[in-house]
Structure 1
Amino acid sequence: MTATHRYALAPWLFLAPALALIAIFSFYPIAHAVFMSFHRWRILAPPDFIALANYEALMHSRPFWLALRNTLVFAFVSVPAGLILALGTALLLNRPLRARGFFRTVIYFPVTVSMVVIALIWSWMFSENYGVVNGVLQTLGLGPRSWLAEPVSAFAVIIVMSVWKGFGYGTVIYLAGLQTIPDSLYEAARIDGASRWRMFRHITLPLLNPTTLFVLVTAFIGSFQVFDQVYVMTEGGPGHSTSVLVHLVYELAYVKFRMGLACAAACILFVITLLFTFLQIGLIRPQTGERR
């Protein structure tokens, strides 16, 4: 083997362990899920090939369509809300404020806490019998409410909690993006008489487009994977009103033991996530000035 070949082979040798882990824990499970989605498999019995029967069953399943609707509603409500909140908070924290580091830490702290812990705390807060929220309402002379037992309010609580927990991550990313914008651009705009709104619209937003793309894509991928808060706070109820696709996959696989149907639902979720990710990249990339 020549020296040129050794130099060309060396990087692949260093990458081999990581590539092997990715293949074992990512590519193989995906391929196996696709394969099993065409089979009827109840764990104890051997799988039977049934072609597209699992997908046809999902197309005629009301819980599937409810879970898909809830997943899309969660994504298209929580992601824009979290994005706007993160950008607004980052703009405030980017200014010369007292205790700015303290506020940054406080805002980012929920991101570091387990979703299960946060969901349990919020469940206690909105408990009908001993929750803090109902306690405040009773103090104001209003009656208690079953927040997590009503479809609309339960889903609203899950969305608000998810936005509150996750917007600190976007805030930190936006802060990093804001600090890369040269101050000279704002100084030149002030000399030309530009208002704060015009500077924000024509300087800040365009230069933050790559940051927005990153935050938007990661947030949408995360929103399609929502599970912990639904499982802990409502278990998909009442009446599948808060069930999402990942929770449906869990229920089909580990409650009803219909592995083939669960794999089919997981494959549909995977395709939807890919489509939305590529769509966002295609829409935002031209605005970032990136070239393929």
Structure 2
Amino acid sequence: MRSDTVLRPRQPAAAERPTGHARRRRRRGDGRAAAFFASPGLAGLTLFTLFPIVMSLVIAFFKWPATGTHEFTGFGNFTTLVQDPVFRRALFNTVLFVVLYVPLNLVVSLGLAVWLTPRIRGQRLLRVLFFLPVVTPMVANAIVWRLIYQPGGLIDGTVKAATGSHAPNFLGEQGWAMAAVVAMSVWQGFGYNMLVFSAALDAIPQQLVDAAQIDGAGPWRMFLRIRLPLISPALFFATTMTLITSFQVFTQPFLLTGGGPGIDTETLMMFVYNEGFSVFQFGLASAAAWILFVLILGVTAVQFAGQRRWVSYDL
């Protein structure tokens, strides 16, 4: 046998090749098998996601109490919400939370990611410690922070020992309650974005950093002109996801302040919960939920429309 002979796989004879009818039958069999394995997931998606979404949209146009008759009101629920001072205050509180929380979360997480990017001692341990609040149950975190904030708690005791006077009642005074909720939320959530930014910073080619250093770029110029543009996709992802989740804030104010003092920390999700499960006005609750959905959809659409101006996907 010649050494340069190329061994080719044996081609099946014409009689061994599947006919068109056999191929179609095999594809139908594969389709039935795929449908069988996907059916539990599709059934769950339809029953627990798609059906509730459609029903909430239908209920939003009805006066739908827990008991009694259901009355079609058209856009009456939405008109009632616009005229409701509690809903307007909940909308304002939600936007205020977003405006305060999102920049603080991004600045803290990005700053720590930049600090941890060099191979400093204990880098992995520090990343794990900073990420722990994210995986800790939010209910447990809120209870701990409530004990820290309350009169006689850790902050009040520290301030009294240092100055002789009491700290403000962070959860019971206007002007302090929302700040307390934001601070707890930043502590709870910055670890996720920190890992996203850390991964993006670690992926920057070292030769670009070395070239900038040879050209005399200092730390700030290095960050603003090299690192920040190269991690813009990660920054876009973190900003978008943080915006979406911050509009849905519920657990922190619900457990820390209960929406108080008064309604100073009541958010849109708390309003939906109170209308739906406290006074059982499901029509108003569904209408408020869809207003929140449209608000989130609009903000996300603006984010995606504006990403072309500042997000670069080329290394």
Q: TM-score range by the shorter chain?
A: over 0.9
Q: How does 1:1-292 map to 2 (within 5 A)?
A: 3=23, 5-6=27-28, 9=31, 13=35, 15-128=38-151, 130-140=152-162, 141-289=164-312
Q: Alpha carbons of 1:2 and 1:249: their partners in 2 closer, same or farther (altered >3 Å)? A: farther
The separation in 2 between residues aligned to 1:97 and 1:120, in whole angstroms, is 34
Report the residue type matching 2:294 in the other structure.
V
Structure 2 stretches of 5 or more lacking a match?
1-20
Give the SS at the match of 1:95: coil
Aligned length: 290
CA gap 1:167/1:7 in 2 versus in 1, 3 angstroms: farther
Shift of 1:289: 3.7
CA distance in 1, matches of 2:22, 2:92: 59
* CA deviation after TM superposition for structure 1 residue 26, in Å: 2.2
Structure 1 vs Structure 2: percent identity of aligned residues? 35
Aligned CA distance change for structure 1 residues 28 and 194 (closer, same or farther; 3 Å)? same
Q: Which amino acid aligns with 1:29?
A: P
1:139 is matched by which residue type in structure 2?
Answer: A
Larger CA Rg, structure 1 vs 2: 2
Q: Distance in 1 between matches of 2:100 and 2:154?
A: 25
Secondary structure at the counterpart of residue 152 of structure 1: coil
Give 1:27 shift.
2.2
Per the alignment, do residues 97 and 158 of structure 1 end up closer, same or farther by CA in structure 2, a change over 3 Å counting?
Answer: same
Deviates more, 1:195-204 or 1:157-166: 195-204
Distance 1:49 1:273, change over 3 A: same
Unaligned runs of 5+ in 1: none
Q: Is the 8 A contact 1:34 1:263 kept in 2?
A: yes
**Mapped contact 1:213–1:285 kept (Cα < 8 A):** no
Q: Which residue number corresponds to residue 16 of structure 2? A: none
| Partner Cα distance (1:282, 1:17) in 2 | 36
In structure 2, do the counterparts of structure 1 residues 263 and 135 end up closer, same or farther at CA, with 3 Å as the change threshold? same
What is the alpha-carbon distance in structure 1 between the residues aligned to residue 161 and residue 117 of structure 2?
38
- The RMSD of aligned alpha carbons is 2.0
Q: Provide closer, same or farther for how the CA distance between residues 278 and 253 of structure 1 changes in structure 2, counting only shifts above 3 A.
A: same
8 Å Cα contact 2:229-2:312 kept in structure 1: no
Which of 24-33 and 268-277 deviates more?
24-33
**If the length of structure 2 is used for normalisation, what is the TM-score?**
0.87
Cα distance between partner residues in 2 of 1:77 and 1:85: 13
Could you list the per-position Cα deviations for residues 158-204 of structure 1 after superposition, in whole angstroms to 9, with x for gaps in the alignment? 00100111001100111111111110100111122222222211211
Deviates more, 1:269-278 or 1:38-47: 38-47
Q: Distance in 2 between matches of 1:51 and 1:107?
A: 49
- Cα distance in 1 for partners of 2:144, 2:292 equals 29
Aligned CA distance change for structure 1 residues 217 and 12 (closer, same or farther; 3 Å): farther
Give the Cα–Cα distance (whole angstroms) in 2 for the partners of residues 194 and 158 of structure 1. Answer: 40
Question: By how many angstroms is 1:9 displaced?
Answer: 4.1
Contact 2:230 2:312 in 1 (8 A): no
Q: Distance in 1 between matches of 2:53 and 2:253?
A: 24
Equivalent residues of 1:253, 1:259 under 8 A apart: yes
Of 138-147 and 225-234, deviating more is 138-147
Q: 2:59 is aligned with what amino acid?
A: M
Alpha-carbon distance in 2 for matches of 1:23, 1:2: 34
8 A contact 2:98–2:246 mirrored in 1: yes
Q: Which amino acid aligns with 1:136?
A: T
Deviations 1:68-121 (A, max 9, x none): 011011111101110011111001111121111111111000001111111111
